[in-house]
Amino acid sequence: MQPTIVYVCRHGQVDNPDHVLYGRLPGYGLSALGHAMAERLGEHFADVPLQHLRVSPLQRAKETLAPIAAGHPDLEIVEDPRLIETANILEGQSFGRFNQRLLFPQNLWHLRNPLRPSWGEPYPQIAQRMRAAIADAADSVPEGGKALIVSHQLPIYIARLDAEGRSFVHNPATRDCRLASVTAFHFLDGRIVGVDYSEPAADLYPAKKKIFRPGM
């Protein structure tokens, strides 16, 4: 029996020269490099027999999905609010290129409990909504079929930790969920039996910086 697969892609690089923690703010689309990453995803999935497309309501996710959707013009796109970026109290602030302003005194109270986390949406809540959205995508295709989702780093990574039965507490700088990456959830008999991870746009990545950015 072939598993049903839900491919969950992270969006490409965002045009954000002011280094704003944009979160759920409107108007943040892809940079030129981000569009190149999206095109790479379109090429990667061009020959994959996708049967369902689902996306976060945010601009950067929709722009990332566009080249994939263009290769599968017969499929409708489902916009799913459960796939949105995590809520974050610090949203809208500019912390500087290396997040040096994050530790200003007015922000420290929001960083008091990384286990919850205290700066935004609780990890269990993220897991619950992502679990439901991914399961709905799996249910939207025949058994053994393939669906694709575009979402955001923290929701995707929490969904993976949830599926693998691991603790939600982690170092944000070490998440295996890079730009335009693909986390694939394999379902049999309605339950997740495996998760794998790939980076189709790996050669396009800028130099990686291990920086702390809460909720992103």
**For residue 133, is it within any domain?**
yes
Indicate the Cα dihedral angle 135, 139, 141, 143, nearest 10°. Answer: 100
Structural domain including 15 reads 4-204
User: Low-confidence residues of the chain, pLDDT below 50?
Assistant: 211, 215-216
**For residue 216, is it within any domain?**
no
Does pTM top 0.85 for this prediction?
Answer: yes
Q: Could you tell me the CA-to-CA distances from 14 to 28, 35, 52, 149 in Å, in that order?
A: 7, 9, 25, 18
**For residue 212, is it within any domain?**
no
- pLDDT for 116 equals 82
**For residue 179, is it within any domain?**
yes
Residue 22 gets which letter from DSSP?
-
- pLDDT for 211 equals 47
- pLDDT for 112 equals 74
- pLDDT for 101 equals 60
- pLDDT for 106 equals 75
Structural domain total, the chain: 1
CATH code for the domain in which residue 153 is found: 3.40.50.1240
**For residue 200, is it within any domain?**
yes
**For residue 112, is it within any domain?**
yes
**For residue 215, is it within any domain?**
no
**For residue 209, is it within any domain?**
no
- pLDDT for 216 equals 45
